[in-house]
Chains A and B, each alone.
Chain A
Amino acid sequence: MAMIAADNRGLRLVTRYAVLVLIAIIFVFPLVFMLMSSLKPDQQLLQDSGNLRAFLPVGDISLQNYTDAFQRAPVATFVFNSVLVTGITVALSLLLCSAAGFAFVFVRWKGRDTLLALLLATLILPFETIAIPLLMMVAHLPWVGFDGVSWGWLNSYRVQIIPFIADGLTVFLFVQYFKDLPGELIEAARVEGASWWQIYRRIVMPLSGPIFATAAILKFLVMYNQYLWPLMVTQEEGYRPVMVGLQYFFQLNVAWGEVMAYLSMITVPVLAFYLYLQKAFIASIASTGVKG
């Protein structure tokens, strides 16, 4: 009996892993394709694209495409710009949007419900539909810098950051998550005289690892993949981000190997960021000792 049970468990474990691996293959194959293609010359890349060789580092393998990509475009500048703009936006966004979410869920104040409904309505607006009016606006906004007041935000980092710090979706993410947190805890803390800041910092934030991570990765993806907006507001190469940089590779005859190399390179920061956050996703509420 015991042996059969053990066998069963072993078998079940194997099935589980088999399922996990099968699904993993489905999710990862285009990316393996991308990575392997980046090592091949164009001619071979296209010949391989229809069969299993597409996933194997076979044939004429080299890093030539990577070298060529750096020749063609200032890849490092693009990645730096994207990481900078994305990083600042994500940080500010988490701060402001979680604070707003906190205020919407835990604090009672005048105008709360109306404003929340209005905010949710903005979720719906695809950015493209407001891009032109927004462009006309930012082209004439003032800015106070070290050298006094200047007009117009074009060709800067701020024009790529400030309009995107707050958005309805991120606020909404926090609102929905905070609703699941034990409200009595907050009330109890208030009764004991804790300040709002203390409650936010000491009680809510430690409980909200998963949602901060989710909001961060979502914002990161949106910002890192920006194309239309930076295209419209950066005329100087020095401010361009990675997705605008991708266009450098689509000449009349596309250099597919270089495209794949560039894509592989610009995917690294996002993947790194996700892996860094991964732990936070599973930071269980139980581990903090709070029970719902």
Chain B
Amino acid sequence: MKMFTLAASAAILAWGSAAQAQQALSMWYHGAGNEVESRIINQIIADFNASQTDWKVELQSFPQAAYNDSVVAGALAGNLPDILDVDGPVMPNWAWAGYMQPLQIDESKIENFLPGTKGYWDGKLYSIGLWDAAVALVTRQSYLDELGLRTPTLEQPWTKDEFMAALDAAKASGRFEYAFDPGMAWTGEWYPYAFSPFLQSFGGDIVDRSTYLTAEGALNGEAAMAFGEWWQGLFKNGYAQATQDPADRDGGFVAGKYAFSWNGNWAALNALNAFPDTVFLPAPDFGNGPKIGAASWQFGISATSKFPEGASAFIEFALQDKYLAAFSDGIGLIPATRTAAAMTENYKEGGPMEVFFGLTEAQALVRPVTPGYVVQAKVFEKALADIANGADVASTLDAAVDEINADIEKNGGYGH
């Protein structure tokens, strides 16, 4: 008995000193309030800490809605962690500002990752995601059948005319409050994420990606004007509502208020639970190919970290297929690799959301890769809200261009 206690305490002592030898790495993550997500990230950290003796990751979770502000405040106060996660399109802003440093990861490890999961800025890899997210046109097979509509495929998506004909049919049926639910209640990043691909499919863009120094022509050229008129028509002609209650966004499709809902894969399970015949259709092609937004949350290393090699080791550790699959099963995200997808419930061959993997591979386009994106996204959001509410398309887009260009100039071109 005594021997046993001694042995046990010796073990504890040994373990204690081993733990002390581990260098602590602080980490911030946006998953506070999401139990499943927190459990998975904690599991990865525990596995990592147990897998080696050099590093010990310590997690601080933040609620997603407050995360970016917290990081900016932390940076201003000179108090950033070693490892942080970052929303894909925001990364160039933080990298340019000097909040982040490039990853020290063997790039062959991420060869097979979906393109949207890799965060490059200035030719260097700054962030890497375990998953991507995708948006699809959510509807029910029974709606398609009743309205007599062709089911679009990745190879043959709906054209603009087909899409509008589908909305017309849904509207004429009188069954729905609105034919289309673009998700107007989700103000914020949803607008550029979900709606700028429409603009890109029309042939326009938020900013001219050849130089990233102006939005002139991209956001107010002919293609953009056509997009603006189309967008305004959705609301003017009663296909969709410009002001939406957030509760309708969350529960409207399930309650049968909308025929088509433009929504992300994270909401897919909810729809599937309500209607087993829910289908996820690819984005319509408005002329320049069907497009959806790419890039979700990714991991990176802060510029002030004294242990980038430890932080990189952790991130590399997290990139294992089993964790990719765990996140996917837990919160419905698209795993970054095909091999991980095969391990998941929803994205494996024949899985209910397999289509999303194809969507991301085939249609995904990252948002403009520029530090100015953070501001441009805001300007774009306001312009789209105004146009939806009936503002003059040309002058609204002109004003948006002026504001974006003034911002780029004020920032000395954002390093482009």
Contact = CB atoms under 8 A, between A and B. Distances in A.
Interface string B53-94: 000000011111110011001101111000000000000000
Interface stretch (B166-174, B244-252, B312-320, B391-399): B244-252
B32 A46 contact: no
Interface string A242-256: 001101111111101
Interface string B252-295: 00110000000010110010000000000000000000000000
B33 interface: yes
Best-buried of A42, A152, A253 by chain B (most CB within 10 Å): A253
Contacts of A249: 33
Contacts of B65: 247, 250
A160 B255 CA distance: 44
B246 A232 contact: no
B239 interface: no
B247 A139 contact: no
A164 B64 CA distance: 27
A247 B79 contact: no
B357 interface: no
Given A231-B69, A256-B247, A244 B79 contact: no
B66 A139 contact: no
B246 to A, nearest CB: 6
Interface in A213-258: 231-233, 235-237, 244-245, 247-254, 256
Best-buried of A233, A245, A251 by chain B (most CB within 10 Å): A251
B243 interface: no
B73 A231 contact: yes
Contacts of B33: 72-73, 247-251
A152 B35 contact: no
B385 to A, nearest CB: 20
Contacts of B347: none
A43 B63 CA distance: 24
Contact of A250 (B35, B63, B70): B63
Contacts of A42: 250-251
A251 B64 contact: yes
B34 interface: yes
B66 A231 contact: yes
A253 B34 CA distance: 11
Nearest to A236: B60
B194 to A, nearest CB: 12
Interface in A129-167: 132, 135-136, 138-139, 152, 154
Contacts of B227: none
Nearest to B77: A139
A132 B267 contact: no
B28 interface: yes
A231 B70 contact: yes
B415 to A, nearest CB: 23
Nearest to A234: B70
A256 B251 CA distance: 11
A152 B60 contact: no
Nearest to A153: B77
Given A43-B251, A237-B32, A253-B250, A136 B61 contact: no
Contacts of A114: none
Nearest to A232: B73
A8 B291 CA distance: 75
B247 A49 contact: yes
Interface string B23-41: 0000010001111000000
24 contacts: A43-B254, A46-B250, A46-B251, A46-B255, A47-B255, A152-B77, A154-B79, A231-B66, A231-B70, A231-B73, A232-B70, A236-B60, A237-B60, A244-B66, A247-B63, A247-B64, A247-B65, A248-B63, A250-B64, A251-B34, A252-B264, A252-B266, A253-B270, A256-B250
Interface of A: 42-43, 46-47, 49, 71-73, 132, 135-136, 138-139, 152, 154, 231-233, 235-237, 244-245, 247-254, 256
Interface of B: 28, 32-35, 60-66, 69-70, 73-74, 76-79, 246-247, 250-251, 254-255, 264, 266-267, 270
